[in-house]
Structure 1
Amino acid sequence: MTETTGHRTTRSAADPAEARKVAFAAFVGTALEWYDYFLYGTAASIVFDRLYFATEDAAVATLAAFASFAVGFLARPVGAVVFGHLGDRIGRRRTLLITVTLISVVTGAIGLLPDFAAIGVAAPLLLTLLRILQGVAVGGEWGGAVTLAVEHAPPEQRGRFAALPQIGSPIGTLLSSGGFYLVALMPDETFDAWGWRLPFLAAFPLLGVALYLRRRVGESPLFAELLAEHDRASMPALELFRRSWRQVLVGLAASLIGIGGFYLLTTFVISYGTNQLGLPKSLMLGATLVAAVVEIGTLLIGGRLADRFTPGKVCFWGGVVSALAAFPVFWAIDTRNPVLVVLAVAVGINCASVPYAVSGALLAGLFPVKLRYSGVAISSNLAGMVSGFVPLVASALLIASDEKSWSVALVLVALALATALGGLLALRLTHRDEVTVHS
């Protein structure tokens, strides 16, 4: 798909040592990003419904908390457009410094926000506003981190290097669920009064670590070539939808199970297990911790499989396996047996993690260099926007089906099959990663 007539094409030689440093910095940044973002999902399940959306009807409070959770996803495409524009215009590295700072400051501010009992209706309104700002920041963070890692990596190893930022997701889960697991051991009064705030306030010191690492990495060599040749798009988002709208839709579909399936199996399942099944919140949080530990290995293996079989094929089969596992996962959770609950959550999350492992390499391969930051960010965050409503939809379907979990399992099947289709179509649309230089 790269035009070569009347032009010459070049590839920047990859420095393996620099590629590893960049991938590690991308991993740390995305780990902090997902830590911040996942905190809200966990808190929406066990804290915000009671302290910020307090009503006499527990089901309504839960729906309101999940609605505020979903609003953040609506803001993600906005962040993708804004920071995608900056990333394709001023550079990946500089843009990523902005996004990681914004999300950390906003997350820390949530930990300082008074609750409904203190300031009334202003509490849920301000909480929702902060969630929107979180969504804007996340909209530009992951796409830039993956783009930077891919563009520094050796071409034959881009799958494994693109998988490293993905490990930020389970690490973010471990940090967020682990933090809430520890504070949940406090007496209920202490937890409600100030204990739940501690994981949010930890975002401030963690920001210093992320900024230190990201300031030490260089700009993408492929973007540097575009900059030298004055070949940047003036309006990346507009050009993206004019020239590559099919790739955007394919990237959206391929990302659904890795994002929406994950939130179904964490945010929704934590609420389902504690509220409908009467299971201890420590058990449900512990299940996500076990799943996250196993997921690290799944992501590393998935990245290597992408280099061997192509990201599209791995995404397709990961979607198929996730669809087949959906009903058994919820059947096991419904037994209320602690061992089976933990096993089911681990299996469900790790099946969904196979397509997620390769999504960075897959999405990066769909777009040319000068539109890549915008393309990866917009397609993944459109999927994120859809996925943000998954816990809310699942909760509504659960109520409509008289609290029978088969209705939620069907949602997981639909997300998985859409991802399988996206992986299949991506095989035909992968872009050759070359920089066109005018003679």
Structure 2
Amino acid sequence: MDSPAQPPGGTKTVSGADASRIAWAAFVGTALEWYDYFLFGTAAALVFNRLFFTELDSTAATLAAFATFGVGFAARPLGALLFGYMGDRFGRRPALLTTIVMIGCATGLIGLLPDFGSIGLAAPVMLTVLRLLQGLAVGGEWGGAVTIAVEHAPIETRGRFAALVQVGSPVGTLVSSGAFALVLMLPGEAFDAWGWRLPFLAAFPLLGIALYIRLKVEESPIFQDLVEQEERSRIPALDVFRQAGGRLLVAVAAAMLGVGGFYMITTFVVSYGTNTLGVDRSVMVNATLVAAALQIVVTVFAGRLAERFGPGRMTVAGSLATAAAAFPLFWLIDTRDPLAIVLAVTAGIALVTIAYAVTGALLTDLFPPHLRYSGVSLGYNLAGALTGFLPLIATAFLAASGNASWSAALILVVIALLSAVGGAYGERLRITDKSIVS
């Protein structure tokens, strides 16, 4: 594996209180990003298949909606390249301000889109374009948020601050699922006409709040060191592939379960339960709400454990546990019993979260500071591009297997085992910055 040179030493210090403030600001912005992004996943399962792809039969419409969902993941590596360059060359802060504006505006505009019945083919085309913009923004958001949080944190407590950024994921899920649960209480006709739009339109005021908070975030002290010592890479992404290509592969593998596993147990399962098993859609959405609440607790706890045992070992533990539980989880869902479904989705998300919670801590330790924003963003978002189409693939496999859930469970097992391998190698390859002390 590649062994990048150790980062240069610096003189800047950061207190625990300042680190907490920066991490909270990163969390708020990231929570909005994931609210916007997860909202699309829920809508793909419940709305877009019916209102934007209405000329297709039900299975084809669901496949088309999930394909549009996956397009956002395909765009994320491009966002990682773009914002990784900005973050490693010009600063973490300007990149993060740009990403939050992009995704907030794209999400709000989805709420204003006419449906297929109003403007025909232009509706799904515009939906896809806005999903691409979401993907570009998220491609630079997560990597930048976790980088700036970690680079402000004392070395010995990086696990908890990286995990705090990860809490943005369950909070985003909780708020987006909660928003959909509320509008699902409307009569069906009102929901289809305007109710589904309200959660998307809420992105505009939420963007104002998040932008106000993020404007108060100072630049990373490690990046300031890089500027002063003239250590910045001229083409960061190219240097990642040349100097740390092996580390990038490890990062991709380690991140796969946290991204792909999550969408298998939320986006795919919501669609599977609603469209295949005939379970009431409110049951499926409420299951994700319960799971998201527990995910917050598991994320914080796993972040603390990562400081003791190492994020790579925690990735291995979460991945192997998920692989072992995959088939039993789908067996529970197949019962169609609401309580069993809530239990399965909650347990599945909790297990995936053990690996997801420490992804930020692990990936930031894989790359030296002058390549960090690009390396972390590329690793995470290449994993997203590879796994973002899993709901689409799982739906196709489901149809080919006569709606047998073992096909979806097998996909979950495969990506869990890949992440276990990534976590094991990642723990061996971690590097430690020497430019921040508590």
TM-score class, shorter-chain normalisation, is over 0.9
**1:312 aligned partner:** 312
Mapped to 1, the partners of 2:62 and 2:426 lie a distance apart of 37
2:26 pairs with 1:26: yes
Establish whether residue 360 from structure 1 lines up as the match of residue 354 from structure 2. Answer: no
Q: Partner letter of residue 137 of structure 1?
A: A
**Which SS does the other structure have where 2:358 is aligned?**
helix
Identity of aligned residues (%): 58
Matched-pair contact (CA < 8 Å) for 2:288–2:346: yes
2:279 match: secondary structure: coil
Structure 1 residue 56, shift from structure 2 partner: 4.5
Cα displacement (A) at 1:217: 1.6
Amino acid at match of 2:249: L
How far apart, CA to CA, are the structure 2 residues paired with 1:75 and 1:2?
28
Tell me the secondary structure at the aligned position of residue 47 of structure 1: helix
Q: Which residue of 1 aligns with 2:39?
A: 39
Q: 1 CA distance for matches of 2:11 and 2:326? A: 43
- 2:239 alignment counterpart: 239
Q: Which residue of 1 aligns with 2:155?
A: 155
Supply the distance in 2 between the matched residues of 1:368 and 1:56 (Cα, whole angstroms).
Answer: 49
Deviations 1:261-308 (A, max 9, x none): 000001100000001111011000000000000000000001001000
Question: CA 1:11/1:161 → structure 2, altered by over 3 Å: closer, same or farther?
Answer: farther
Is 2:105 the counterpart of 1:108? no
**Aligned equivalents of 1:56 and 1:125: distance in 2?**
15
**Once the 2 structures are TM-superposed, how far is the Cα of residue 16 of structure 1 from its aligned partner?**
1.0
In 1, distance between residues paired with 2:435 and 2:368? 8
- 4+ runs deviating over 6 angstroms: none
Give structure 2 stretches of 5+ with no counterpart.
none
SS at match of 2:14: coil
Q: 1:81-92 counterparts in 2 under 5 A?
A: 81-92=81-92
Name the SS of the counterpart of 1:12 in structure 2.
coil
Aligned-pair CA distance for 1:98 = 0.4
TM-score (norm 1): 0.97
Q: Find the counterpart in structure 2 of residue 176 from structure 1.
A: 176
One-letter code of the match for 1:205? P
Cα distance in 2 between the residues matched to 1:26 and 1:210? 9
1:411 shift after superposition: 0.4
Q: In structure 1, what is the equivalent of residue 99 of structure 2? A: 99
2:268 maps to what in 1?
268
Q: C-alpha separation between the residues in 2 aligned to 1:12 and 1:81?
A: 28
The corresponding residue for 1:138 is 138
Letter aligned with residue 126 of structure 1: M
CA 1:172–1:323: 2 relative to 1, 3 Å: same
Whole-Å separation in 1 of the counterparts to 2:410 and 2:270:
18
How much is the aligned-residue C-alpha RMSD, in angstroms? Answer: 1.3
CA distance in 2, matches of 1:340, 1:14: 47
The CA distance in 2 between the partners of 1:210 and 1:257, in whole Å, is 28
CA distance in 1, matches of 2:318, 2:298: 11
2:128 aligned partner: 128
Matches of 1:11 and 1:150, distance apart in 2: 17
Asked if the contact 1:226/1:435 (under 8 Å) is kept, the reply is no
**Cα shift at 1:57:** 1.1
1:402 aligns with 2:402: yes
The code of the aligned residue for 2:107 comes to T
Gaps of 5+ in 1: none
The answer to whether the Cα contact below 8 Å between 2:110 and 2:200 also exists between their aligned partners in 1 is yes
| Contact 1:27–1:164 (Cα < 8 Å) also in 2 | yes
Q: Which is worse superposed, 91-100 or 427-436? A: 427-436
Shift of 1:93: 1.0
The one-letter code matched in structure 1 to 2:120 is G
Q: What residue is the counterpart of 2:335 in the other structure?
A: 335
* CA-CA distance at 1:3 after TM superposition: 4.9
Letter of the 1:431 counterpart: I
CA contact under 8 A between 1:105 and 1:203: conserved in structure 2? Answer: yes
The one-letter code of the counterpart of 2:195 is G
Q: How does 1:158-237 map to 2 (within 5 A)?
A: 158-237=158-237
Under a length normalisation based on structure 2, what TM-score does the superposition of the two structures give?
Answer: 0.97
In the TM superposition, what is the alpha-carbon distance from 1:216 to its structure 2 partner?
1.1
- Amino acid in structure 2 at the alignment position of 1:188: G
Residue in structure 2 matched with residue 382 of structure 1 by the alignment: 382
